[in-house]
Structure 1
Amino acid sequence: MGQGENMSAVEQTTEMVSTSKFSRRHFIQGAAVAGAGVALPMTGALGSSVAGAAPTTLRVAIGKIANAPTPFSTNDAGSLQILANVGEYLSWSNDKSEIVPRVAESWKASAGGKIWTFKIRQGITFHDGSALTADDVVWTFKSHLDPANKSNAAGKFKGILNSAGVQKVDKYTVKFELLAAVGTFPYLVAGTSYGLLIIKNGESGGPTWETKMNGCGPYIFESYVKGDRATFKKNPKYWDKTRQPKFDKLVTISFESQEAAVAQILTGNLDATTGISGATAAKINKKKIDLVNVKSVGHLMVHMRSDFGPFSVDKRVRQAAALTLDREGFLKGVLKGAGSVGNDNVMDPFPTADKSVKQRKKDIAAAKKLMAAAGSTGFKVDLSTYHRDDIDLLAPFLKSSWAEIGIDLNLGKISDSYYTAPWDANTAKKQESNFWLESNCGITEFGHRGAPAEYLTRVFRSNGDWNAAHIKDAALDAAIDEYNTATTPAKAMVASKKIQELSLDLSPYIIAYFEVRTSAVRKGLKGFYTNGMGQFDAAATA
């Protein structure tokens, strides 16, 4: 890498991505897309174009499909993007991060936010022709809350909602009686909530759903090749007359690298790709491809396990690691400004954040003092994660940064097996398995949420099922409960400040930046966007 040790972590990472050449991994995947057998040129791939006839099929490159695209198992960008077009949620998060009605026409709170009543829209049918009613909504939520189904969505409701609280009022009204008041409950059941699309009463959201995908969305399932692609046809009976599908078919193709997908837009094999990095966006010829940007609170989260392994010895080791990062330099130099600086907590992007909390900045001298005070001279530790463009940028930056205080981050364990059981941090063992919830250090992607409640409940709370850092702190738990039950913005801000400060003190996680979601689309394609979560609305595209 050029000058090696004489270069800063940002300079090393920038040099790595400064050319338009693809890695072998990117090249192989791009050449194989859609069965086209088209070999990508190794140079100039981001600056040439092939014109073609107006397509009747919308072809979209999506993220890697780590888990099956079913309501119970989805927890990654690829499977979520499939579900967003075949299924329908109570509400949808648009490109402005607003939640807009879909299956639910309206909702209202009572009892100080402890009861939420949703009016269900009439006239919606599943793809098999059956009408959607309150029975289907009740079945959906009770199914997710049933421990036997092992739904990935269940953890978000821990301490908030149980099965008994999901109640049918009449044929088109559903009531949720919560265990505790939550002022942002509608965000917890919106489209950004992964698998909470409405399941037909009596059907399973497990493995069998993958074979037919009986949703009520704008596209109807035709076929699915595991981990690769899915094909759909438009739904001629789609309920929303303002968003009728314009394309006869939709094909989603899973890509490990969205940079390879960009090249396939230029050769005419794809129409759009979602989630490209700022580094990739900076290299694109804007005369050939349009870029669509959406603000997001999505991010990459680095966990440092606090109950086992080298980071658990002393919180000052974790604090030191966080102080090595030149966040602003990485955002500007590597991501080309596509995002906002993070401060190791999930509260900052939301209106209730307390802006008086000091931003963490690179300070190697302070980091070395903390390491010495903790009695640490450094150590070697594996980085557990998987390959995708943004992670492949952050990982070497993290390695170079930590090296300045003697932490040797091994990148040799990055593998597609990262998302492997256990799926609940509360059942994870104290061992290094290089799996998400059983690893000393890892990078996990988190999609956009309209409110921080799910991050707090599942990631930062002591009993959270996604608590990869295994942080357990009574004061932090109390602050989270205080925030989730706050009845005014002022009270929420007081609780937010506590969470922000405790996150910095305990340092279980590093959040270096928050994303801007960028999609690349072919010239002439109109209406295509992803929301902050990365879901795209094929029905809005023409």
Structure 2
Amino acid sequence: MPQSGADALPQHWQDVLPAARTRRGFLTLAGGGALAALLAACAPSAEDDASAGTTASATGPARRGGTLRVGAPPPPTALDPVTAYDGTAIALYQLVAEYLVWLDKDYKLVPRLATKWSSDATGRTWTFTLREGVTFSDGTKLDAATVKASFDRLLDPKSKSAALSAFDTVLKPGGVTTEGDATVVFTLERPFSDFPYLVSAGNYNAVILKTDYTGDFARHGIGTGPFTLTSYDVSTGAAFVRNPKYWDSPRPYLDGVDVRFYADDQADLVALQSGDIDAQFLSRPALVEPLGNGGGITVDKVRSTGVTVLTLRVDKAPFDRKEVRQAVAYGLDRPAVRQAAGSGLGDLGNDHLFAPLFPAAPTDIAQRTKDKAKVTDLLKAAGLKSLRFTLTFDPPNKDFAVTVQSQLKEVGITVDLDQRSSKEFYGGDQAKDTPWLFTTANLVGWAGRPVPSQFIIPMVKSDGVWNGSKYANKALDAAAEAYDAATSDAERRKQAEIIAEALHEDVPIVIAYWSGAARAYNSGRFRGVQAHPSQYVDFTTVSRI
């Protein structure tokens, strides 16, 4: 499911490929000091970031000028930063609007519209200081009241914001206040030490918009970002030009960005190979990996926390028996699944929600491997001579589903495939009968998150809004709360181990591998184009050769 929003659709409908994370270890609070202040102090400053950008890459200095032509699928959602959930729409508005905090390609917190942040001793009050001298592209000054209005809008249920679920149980309407023109204060419902990530690009709808924004972004795309939107056609593409009022001069180096929509991935790829476009927003690893950085095309790759989850309903036969769920988990050859469905990119999964890129990920839980004898013993312990079940999925996960079917057949488990259209799979009543949350077994692609709580809270907590397995474990719930409130590496690792061991043992979800992300581009014409673990777009340092 998407990074946030009960009304939003999942990663593959978004076309947002997985996200990676090699965030620095969790920093310990000194006495009653503020975690976020420490994080901000360790993150690159805006000044450092700007000076680093004077070269677009290690191969040469940045050169002013040029228009980058980018290919992308047509957005299935409206170009509205408040409600959009698909990868193309997100990439488009990220060229125009900015976040308080950006996430770089290893998920470090990078100051953008906020220059520093800190929490009080309780971890419930977070204070952000805004950058001075920032204006919107129409000349309107950025101030604290504008930031407050942006978050009030996201927190209002009437807005149907895709960001609502990210703030669930953490920040409620009325929780945002101001102190003068340059300070914004967030008062949380409970301690949440990763809160800066929820107002960063990690919560992709959390861009700052003007106070009077009414949802007309496609016609009046006004932001504080490096480019301004000059035209948009939902069928053909969009055009952007350099924002002359951008605060981070001399960036951007490009004169503009021209986005062209292609009906399918193959057409997008052909356009790149033929030179009709220079880069892609949403490269599919399976398609671009064979290019092998040849013919003038470079494929930048990163590890990720994106994941396709095999969800098993623990409240329905046959998966109401733990042994049956474990049998499915032991029936998979994980490296083979990764190769078949993920082009060999990414890290192996071990049936818990702490990707290897998460600093607190446990390292002492034995990696689960394919074991036919163990599958037989587990089914026998459950009183079954054989197992047959139906696996429901939508088209983007067909390769994954076929691979699971083939591998489980080898260990005596029969899987009937039930492919639905994406509209049907994610349609219906989200509280009662939508297939992705209520079928006995299904495959759901989740976009990468920068912090594990963004998986744990909605997916496996007892009251999780997207708990498709219907799993409930009070010990896990308590550990998840403690993890969010933890103020030291040691405490985080302790709670992470409790959560991971519970999931690994109970197997409400099976995770074969964590995906990788890629972005292909013409390195003979431009430098500085990079992949991002969440397929986010930052073209501020892209330069022509």
- Shorter-chain TM-score: what band? 0.7 to 0.9
String of CA shifts for 1:365-413, please: whole Å, max 9, x gaps: 22233334334533342422242xxx34322212212334433231532
Q: The residue matched to 1:347 in structure 2 has which SS?
A: coil
Is the contact between residue 202 and residue 449 of structure 2 (CA under 8 Å) also seen in structure 1?
yes
Other structure's SS at 1:113 match: coil
1:400 to 406, 424, 431: 406
CA distance in 2, matches of 1:494, 1:227: 50
**SS of the counterpart of 2:527?**
coil
Deviation at residue 98 of structure 1 after TM alignment: 1.4
Greater relative CO (CA pairs within 8 A, separation 6+): 2
Corresponding residue number in structure 1 for 2:132: 122
Please say if 1:381 is aligned against 2:386.
no
TM-score by length of 1: 0.81
- Specify which of 156, 159, 162 is matched with residue 166 of structure 2: 156
Alpha-carbon distance between aligned partners in 1 of 2:193 and 2:137, rounded to the nearest angstrom? 34
Amino acid at match of 1:440: T
Q: Secondary structure at the match of 1:355?
A: coil
Determine which of 246, 270, 282 is the counterpart of 2:254: 246
Q: Name the residue aligned to 1:304.
A: 312
Say if 1:68 and 1:488 are closer, same or farther in 2 by CA, change over 3 A. Answer: same
The residue that corresponds to 1:341 in the other structure is 348
Change (3 A) 1:380 1:353: closer
How many residues were matched structurally?
A: 475
Aligned-partner SS, 1:139: helix
Which moved further from structure 2: 516-525 or 213-222?
A: 213-222
Structure 2 Cα separation of the partners of residues 419 and 213 of structure 1: 29
1:221-253 superposed Cα distances (whole Å, 9 cap, x missing partner): 233333763332332212211422413233153
Amino acid corresponding to residue 540 of structure 1 in structure 2 = T
Secondary structure of the residue aligned to 2:230 is strand
Counting only pairs closer than 5 Å after superposition, residues 371-450 of structure 1 correspond to structure 2 as 371-376=379-384, 377-387=386-396, 391-403=397-409, 404-420=411-427, 422=429, 428-429=431-432, 431=433, 433-434=434-435, 436-450=436-450
Contact 1:294–1:531 (CA under 8 A) maintained in structure 2:
yes
Q: Alpha carbons of 1:316 and 1:79: their partners in 2 closer, same or farther (altered >3 Å)?
A: farther
Is this contact kept in 1: 2:176–2:186, CA < 8 A?
yes
Q: Take 2:442 and 2:237, find their aligned partners in 1: how far apart are those partners?
A: 28
Instruction: Report how far residue 128 of structure 1 moved.
Output: 3.2
2:351 alignment partner AA: D
Unaligned runs of 5+ in 2: 1-63
1:320 alignment partner AA: A
- Aligned twin of 1:237: 245
Aligned equivalents of 1:227 and 1:392: distance in 2? 27
User: Pick from 278, 294, 297: which aligns with 1:287?
Assistant: 294
- Cα 1:215–1:227 change in 2 (3 A) is farther
Alignment of 1:92-103 (within 5 A): 92-103=102-113
Equivalent position of 1:356 in the other structure: 364
AA of the residue aligned to 1:397: T
Name the SS for the 1:136 alignment partner.
Answer: helix
Change (3 A) 1:113 1:233: same
Q: Does the aligned pair in 2 maintain the 1:235–1:245 contact within 8 Å?
A: no
* SS at 1:379 equivalent: strand
Q: What letter corresponds to residue 178 of structure 1 in structure 2?
A: L
Q: 1:370 aligns with which of 353, 356, 378?
A: 378
Distance 2:484 2:84 in 1: 25
Report 1:191-270 matches (<5 A): 191-204=201-214, 208-226=216-234, 229-253=237-261, 256-257=264-265, 259-270=266-277
| One-letter amino acid of the counterpart of residue 402, structure 2 | P
**Which SS does the other structure have where 1:74 is aligned?**
coil
Q: Indicate conservation of the 8 Å contact 1:274/1:518, yes or no.
A: no
Q: Distance in 2 between matches of 1:442 and 1:65?
A: 25
Corresponding residue of 1:489: 489
Q: Secondary structure of the equivalent of 2:179?
A: strand
What is the CA–CA distance in structure 1 between the aligned matches of 2:523 and 2:459, rounded to whole Å? 40
Q: TM-score, normalised by structure 2?
A: 0.80
Q: Secondary structure at the match of 1:319?
A: helix
Residue 537 in structure 1 maps to residue 538 in structure 2 = yes
Contact 1:298/1:448 (<8 A) preserved: yes
Amino acid at match of 2:370: K
**For residues 9-48 of structure 1, what are the alpha-carbon distances to aligned partners after superposition, in whole Å with 9 as ceiling and x for unaligned?**
xxxxxxxxxxxxxxxxxxxxxxxxxxxxxxxxxxxxxxxx
Distance 2:438 2:220 in 1: 33
Query: What residue is the counterpart of 2:43 in the other structure?
Result: none
* 1-structure distance, mates of 2:321, 2:260: 46
Percent identity over paired residues: 30
Q: For the residues of structure 2 that align with 1:395 and 1:228, how far apart are their CA atoms?
A: 33
Counterpart of 1:37 in structure 2 is none
Whole-angstrom distance in 1 between the partners of 2:220 and 2:228 = 9
Asked whether the 8 Å contact 1:125–1:131 carries over to 2, the reply is yes
